[in-house]
Amino acid sequence: MVGFPTPKDPFDAPMRVEADLRGVQVTQGEVPEHLAGTYYKCVIDRQWPSFIENDLELFNGDGMIIAFRFDGGRVDFKSRYVRTPRFVAEEAAGRALFGAYRNPFTDDPSVAGVSRGVANTNVFFHGGKLYVAKEDSPPVIMDPVTLETLGEYDFEGTLTSATSTAHPKFDPVTGEMVFFGYAAKGETTRDIVYYEADRDGRLIHETWFQAPYSSMVHDFAVTQNFVVFPIIPLRSELEWIEKGESHFKWDPHEPVHLGVLPRKGTAADLRWFTGSNRFASHIMGAYDDGRFIHIDTPVGAANYFPWFPDVTGAPYDPERAKGYLSRWTVDTQDATRGFTEFRLCRFAGEFPRMDDRQETLPYSWGVMALLDGPGGHSRPGGGFRWLSGIDLDSGRQQIYWPGEDSTVGEPVFVPGASDAPPGHGYVFVIVGRRAEMRSDLVILDAQRLDAEPVCTLSLPMRIRMGLHGNWVGADELAGRTD
């Protein structure tokens, strides 16, 4: 293979390696023996070089699943590409056939009609199945042990949407998976579909509606009584991709709309709460008290992604792009008032996560990666340099710093025990040791992020940039159906 661009930092070069390593080396501390389960994470590693100039690998590269399996103090590592229909087609050709990010007009004619999904955003487990998702396509399921790809999954023929979010929410009370698709009738359509699946993964609810404009609906908020769809003006238009322009552009003139529905509500129940122009993407957590809905999300004054242009031609503004964890509150009894915003954190950050056992419920503990922090700014291009644990009641923050020349990925909470209090347990984070050209899995005490790590598991190779992951306990994996 030829044609991969040379990155500025060799740490960011392609890997494309599917690996197995049994007994990952512990180079600091001790692996808690009681930890039993697997930490899955989605990483991105384009298998064949793109024929599109400056294509967006972070969003358009092939997804690979890495898995650290914990059992009795021993940790085994495995990584496998997600063999999407797209991957399989390109593998057979030995070259890229799909073109620009979410632009089918740029594809090789030979793959017309083949799913464009790259399964590179999130990996999660529900109803006995391991899902890998990318928001522009149906999810893919994989064998949770071998990481063999089982194929795109349409919920036994019941998925009516062309797309499915990478950020479903899991109701810990009912076991339901709450999810949605946007651009659900095809790229740039305004159609959104809201689904719920029961604890066994069967679709039990489906509602279709249209957003005020077509945009990237990357995440949403789910509480015990409501679902909220944030429409953020990172807009898309069919004409743009027909002309080969960016799929998404930032529109500083459009307001933010929050589409609020009662859980399992229909389109007739939908109400829009509107606020001024701003940017948000990931939701840390959300809950309601029957009337007020609280949604915690990093909020920036403008578009976070430098590669998506401004419709006005204005240049990217890294200061205004910074997102600060903020709480949006909706009064469901007064749609005329829009929603309020309150900043929760003094450092800009992203990849907000919580103790998922509290998802949809009131919570006070969260963790995120910081864009800037006590030591300055993070690396341009997505390399975060700190984590921060946050107590939302007290506002107290703890900082984890991985050391010089190291970058961190998304933090993931792992319960210390099934009955551990909320936020008590571990934070797992992949740390890139950039000068050493390899990566660690660092396990932190979730209540003492600033203390010495619980342990460090050292890989002899790099883990490539990635997005989201999740811990799946051995008890839950035992209920696998695939």
Interacting residue ranges for a second copy, rule: CB under 8 A: 1-2, 4, 10, 13-27, 47-48, 74, 91, 94, 436-438, 460-462
* Minimum CB distance to a second copy, residue 165 (Å): 30
**Shortest CA distance to 351 belongs to which of 163, 177, 121?**
121
Q: Indicate the residue among 56 and 461 with the shorter CB distance to a second copy.
A: 461
Q: Which is nearer to a second copy, 17 or 267 (CB)?
A: 17
Nearest residue to 465 (alpha-carbon basis) of 99, 59, 132: 59
Rg (CA), the chain: 21
Instruction: Give how far Cα 148 sits from Cα of 21, 134, 168, 369, Å.
Output: 17, 18, 22, 31
DSSP codes of every residue in 153-221: --TTTT---S---S--EE-TTT--EEEEEESTTSTT--EEEEEEE-TTS-EEEEEEEE-SS-B-----E
Which of 26, 89 has the CB closer to a second copy? 26
4/213 with CB nearer a second copy? 4
In the complex, minimum distance from the CB of residue 2 to a second copy, in angstroms, rounded to a whole number: 5
Minimal distance, residue 62 CB to a second copy, in Å: 11
Tell me the β-bridge partners of 67.
40, 78
Phi, psi of 159 (to 5 degrees): -80, 115
H/E run at residue 64: strand 63-71
CA distances from 9 to 5, 13, 71, 163, 421 (A): 11, 7, 35, 34, 41
Residue 26 or 335 having the CB closest to a second copy: 26
Nearer to a second copy, 13 or 52 (CB): 13
| Shortest spacing between CB 339 and a second copy, in angstroms | 46
For the record, the structure tokens of 409 come out as 């990925």
Min. distance of Cβ 51 from a second copy in angstroms? 15
Name the minimum Å distance from CB 25 to a second copy: 5
Nearer to a second copy, 94 or 315 (CB): 94
Q: How far is CA 197 from the centre of its chain?
A: 20
Distance in Å, CB of 44 to a second copy, minimum:
14
Q: Which is nearer to a second copy, 74 or 202 (CB)?
A: 74
State in angstroms the smallest separation of the CB of 457 from a second copy. Answer: 9
Q: Are 360 and 224 in contact (CB under 8 A)?
A: yes
CB nearer to a second copy: give 13 or 301.
13
Residue with smaller CB distance to a second copy, 21 or 420: 21
Which residue, 197, 100, 211, is CA-closest to 139? 197
Q: 3-state secondary structure string, 109-167?
A: HHHCCCCCCCCCCEEEEECCEEEEECCCCCCEEECCCCCCEEEECCCCCCCCCCCCCCC
Are 141 and 178 spatial neighbours (Cβ–Cβ below 8 Å)?
no
State in angstroms the smallest separation of the CB of 92 from a second copy: 11
Question: Which residues on neighbouring strands pair with residue 257, listed in sequence order?
Answer: 231, 274
Separation in Å, CA 230 to CA 131, 210, 227, 304, 451: 23, 12, 10, 15, 36
Q: Find out whether 348 and 322 touch, Cβ atoms under 8 Å.
A: yes
Q: Closest separation between CB of residue 95 and a second copy, Å?
A: 8
Which of residues 10 and 290 has its CB atom nearest to a second copy in the complex? 10
CB of 149 to a second copy, least distance (A): 14
Nearer to a second copy, 16 or 264 (CB): 16
C-alpha distances (whole Å) from 433 to each of 223, 379, 458, 464 are 38, 14, 10, 11
- Check if the beta carbon of residue 277 is closer than 8 Å to that of residue 254: yes
The least distance separating a second copy from the CB of residue 170, rounded to whole angstroms, comes to 33
- Tokens coding 100: 């620009």
